[in-house]
Structure 1
Amino acid sequence: MTFSRIGGWAAIGFAVLLAGTNLILAPSGLPLIGDPANEAADYFGAHAGLIGISGTLAVAAWLLAVLFGAAVVAVVRSSERTRGEAWAVVGLAGLVLQNATFTVFTATRLALTATDGTATEALWALNEALFAFNGTYLATAMLGLSLAGLRSGLIRPIHTTLGLVAGALQLLGALLLPLVFNDPGAVDLIGLAGWMLWVVWIFWYGIVLIRTRAPSTEHLLAPNPAAA
């Protein structure tokens, strides 16, 4: 299996894990940004097992996200080098930063399941802040990988537009949430719309990578006439 296909399946796996985890957590009453700390404490204390499972799935998702980003870099790097560009590297950096942020985000969720109540308010505030600012890194990933794919002929303009719109929504949410932290209201919907488009974008990108043919290596095996 070529590396591009590995990255493609990783992207699809990431999207499935991401959507599946949230479909499991959402009906359980998962608290959102702006909800009181005592409600968050009650939820995480009562759903420690469910949060533990979601944390395990997150570990797999982080690995898959990096494989996806690396595959895009591998496919487009020759084209980008010719133009003196590095949009794919920008996108991969966004994915790595997203992983780092969500590692701490997930760790605070796990900590909330075991807190004795004294640190609940601080942990919940940190969890909310991490989630709010994570949109910045998702926007960076979609900006870089969308432009890299478009300018290298890997993805179509409509796919790029989807990524840029999703990234813009994520970035807008990250910019606005600190201003309405305790009562996000419609700002939460902006982030949610961007997140849903992000899942579709990365799933679609995975299909593209799976269908991408590996560059021919026959010229590397052919005899060199000049050496004869």
Structure 2
Amino acid sequence: MLPQAKLGGLAALGFATTIVVANLIAIPAAPAFPGASAALTPLAWLCATVFGAAAVAVLGPSLWPLVGFAGLLLQNATFAGVIALRLALTESTTPALQAAHDALFTLNGTFLAVALLGLSLVSFVPRWQCTLGLTAAALLFTSATITPLAGDGVAMLGLVGWLLWVAWLVAYGWRLLQTPAPQPTAA
């Protein structure tokens, strides 16, 4: 059985890979098939949950790791609504469904910011990675907060924050993979 840190590292890398691939599929297919990336989303949710749980197991159940794990769980729940609405949009293109989708998609940045905040403010990550995580969190949170007020003009903040989130996630996964397995203690 894989040690928790290694499993968490693989899950983080799997999560990052899955969301990038899903977006590469979804973006070209968006108008014609809004549910194009939905098939990969359950894998992303599984990877995100395992990554978060492993991070808590490795870092200990203290405040910041738990905040980060809560952010990942809330992100999963919010994105379940996003994907459900995308699937509904394959059957009906009503403006209300599209507006609900866009609102949930934008607000999801809040939960990504919570995950980044919690899992960056730990001694486990080096200063550069903490800075990367907090920068991504600030951009995602700002985008989620002001997009409803300012419209799509601030969408670039969210995109840059998301790209930084993916880079942070890969670095976190790599760091977890490099974590030595705990040595059994002699009784």
Identify the range of structure 1 (206-215 vs 191-200) with the bigger mean alpha-carbon deviation.
206-215
Residue 171 of structure 2: aligned partner: 204
CA distance in 2, matches of 1:197, 1:47: 27
CA distance in 1, matches of 2:26, 2:87: 14
Q: Which amino acid aligns with 1:7?
A: G
Q: Measure how far apart 1:76 and its partner are.
A: 1.0
**Mind listing any 5+ residue stretches in structure 1 that lack a counterpart?**
31-42, 223-228
Residue 35 of structure 1: aligned partner: none
CA distance in 2, matches of 1:74, 1:214: 12
Q: Measure how far apart 1:159 and its partner are.
A: 0.6
Deviations 1:5-36 (A, max 9, x none): 111001001101111111222233x3xxxxxx
CA distance in 2, matches of 1:25, 1:114: 17
Answer yes or no: is 1:11 the counterpart of 2:12: yes
Q: Secondary structure at the match of 1:155?
A: coil
Residue 143 of structure 2: aligned partner: 173
Q: Secondary structure at the match of 1:114?
A: coil
Alignment size in residue pairs:
186
Q: Measure how far apart 1:180 and its partner are.
A: 2.3
Q: Measure how far apart 1:3 and its partner are.
A: 1.3
Identify the range of structure 1 (203-212 vs 16-25) with the bigger mean alpha-carbon deviation.
16-25
CA distance in 2, matches of 1:195, 1:113: 25
CA distance in 1, matches of 2:102, 2:179: 39
Residue 34 of structure 1: aligned partner: none
Q: TM-score if structure 1 supplies the norm length?
A: 0.78
CA distance in 1, matches of 2:63, 2:133: 17
Residue 214 of structure 1: aligned partner: 181
Q: Secondary structure at the match of 2:90?
A: helix
Identical amino acids, percent of aligned pairs: 47
Residue 193 of structure 1: aligned partner: 160
Match of 1:161 among 127, 131, 136: 131
Q: Superposition pairs for residues 49-128 of structure 1, below 5 Å?
A: 51-52=35-36, 54-77=37-60, 85-115=62-92, 117=93, 120-128=94-102
Q: Secondary structure at the match of 1:217?
A: coil
Q: Which amino acid aligns with 1:157?
A: R
Deviations 1:99-141 (A, max 9, x none): 00000000000001012x5xx1110000000011111100000
Deviations 1:34-54 (A, max 9, x none): xxxxxxxxx2xx326xx25x1
Residue 27 of structure 2: aligned partner: 26
Residue 33 of structure 1: aligned partner: none
RMSD: 1.3
Q: Measure how far apart 1:201 and its partner are.
A: 0.4
CA distance in 2, matches of 1:174, 1:129: 9
Larger Rg: 1
Q: TM-score if structure 2 supplies the norm length?
A: 0.95
